[in-house]
Chains A and B, each alone.
Chain A
Amino acid sequence: MKKTVVFKVLALVVATGLLGGWSSKKGRIKKAAETSSSGSVTISYACWDSAQADKLRKVADDFEKANPGIKIDIQVSGWNDYWTGLEAAATGGSLPDTFWMHSNNIYYYASNGQLLDLTKYIKKSSDIELSKYPAGLVSIYSLNGKQYAIPKDYDTIALWYNKTLFDKAGISYPDETWTWDTMKKAAKKLTKSDGSQYGMCAGLHNQEGYYNFVYQSGGEIVTPGNKSGYAEDATIKGIDEYFSFVKEGLSPQIYDDQARSQAIMNGQCAMGLFGSWNLSGFAANDFMKKNFNCAVLPSANNGKRATIFNGLGNAIAATTKHPDEAWKWIEYLSNEAGQKKQAELGIAISAYKGTADTWTKAYPDFNVKCYIDMLSYAHIRPYTHQTSVWEDKSYEMLKGAYAGKEDVSTACKKTAQMMNEAIAAE
C-alpha cells in the first residue's frame, strides 16, 4: 500500500514539476491596469532602464497634476526580461498600455498588429509634428506609411577615459585627432604587466563595442540588400581591430554586460566605449565624476569616423482599453515641453529638435556634448525584421574568436551564414 502511494506521488512530481517551473518565468510584465475604483484611469508604462524610470516618475507626477483622472504606473524590468515579458504579454493579449519600443523589435510588433497606429492621432494633434524628430528615427518606427511609435530619445557611443590614469602615465587626453593607432598606443602605455590595470575595456558587446569599429572600418552588419555584412573584409577588419585589445592583453575578457561598466568604475580599465544612456548612472558615481571624462570616438587610421546611433520610441498597445488617455500621456512625453523637461532631468538625449543642448547642461561634469557632435557621421544601429534572433546568436558564434581561440575571419563567416539563414526565415 505504502509503496503504491510513493509511486503515485512520484508520478505526479514528474508531471507537475516539469512544467510548473517555467510558467513562473513568463509574464513578468503586468497586465494593463484597469480603471480604478475612484473613477480615474490608470495607464501602465513599461520600460527597461531603472535609472531613467526614477526620473520619468517626476515627469509622470507632473502629468498627473495636469491631467487629474489619469494615473501613470511605471513598470521597470531588465532588458532581457523586458522583451521576454512583453512577448508573453502580447501573446496573451495583455500588453501594458504604453511602453518603450526599440529598433530591434519594432517590425515584429508593428507587422503583427500589436501596436496602435498613431497616424491619425498625430494628424489631429497640434503639438506633435514628425518633422521635429530625427528623420532616421521616425522612419524606424513607421511601417507601410503608418507611424507606430514616436521617437523618445537618441543615443550615440563615446570614448570614456580615466583622467587620473592618463595623467599618471603622462599621455594627453583623447580628442578628435585620435585614430585606432593612437588609441592602441595609449592602451599599451596604460596596461600594467601584473594585470592590475588595463588600458582598455573591450568587452564582448556590439553596440558599445565592435559595431562602432565595423562602421569606422567601412564595413557593415546589414547590407542595403538586407543580407549579413559579417563576411565582408572591412567588417572583419573592424572586428579584428576591436578584438585585438583582448588578444594583446590590453583589455580583460569581459562577457557580462554590467561587468563592463564595473571595470571602469573601479579603476581596473582606463578607457571604454559607452552609450549616452549610461550618463545618469555615471553622474551618480563619485569615482566617475572625479576621474572620468568622455570624448568622440577615435577614427579609423584612414580618418573614417563612425558611431552607432539609435533611439527609442514610445508606443501604445493596440489592445489598450484607454487609447485616448494613453495618447495623452505619449503626447505629453513627446511634445516640445515634455521633451525639454526630460532633457533637463538628464533622462536621455531628447529627440525633439533643439532640446539636445538642454540635455548637455544636465551633466556639467562631463564633456557630454561629444555625443551630439558625433551625430553627423552616426550610423543607425543595424536592424532587420527580427534583429533579436540573430543578434544574440552572433555573440555565441563570435565569443571563441574574441577569446583568441578561433580565427576572427572564420568566426565572422560562420556568423554571416547563420545571420543570412535567420533573415531568410523572417
Chain B
Amino acid sequence: MAKIIVEVMLKPEILDPQGQAVGNALPRLGFTFATSVRQGKRFEIEMVGEPTDAQMADIHKAAETLLSNPVIETYLIKVEN
C-alpha cells in the first residue's frame, strides 16, 4: 500500500496572514529562531499498491485541479511506501 503526500503552499508573492500570525506568536513564547513562517496544507492519500504512471498523472491532475489553486498556490507530490 502506498501513501501519496501532497503538500500545498501559497506562492511566495501571496500574502500569508496565517503564517505571519504564527510567526508573531513564536517570539512571544520565547522561540526566537524564526525569521519567517509560511503555513500550508498537507494531504495524505492512501491507495492500494504502487501508483502506475497513469495514476501518477491522475494524482498531478487532481493536485492542480482540486487540491491546489494554481492561481495562488504551488504543490509538491511525494510517494511513501
A binds B: no
Please report A residues at the B interface, Cβ cutoff 8 Å.
none
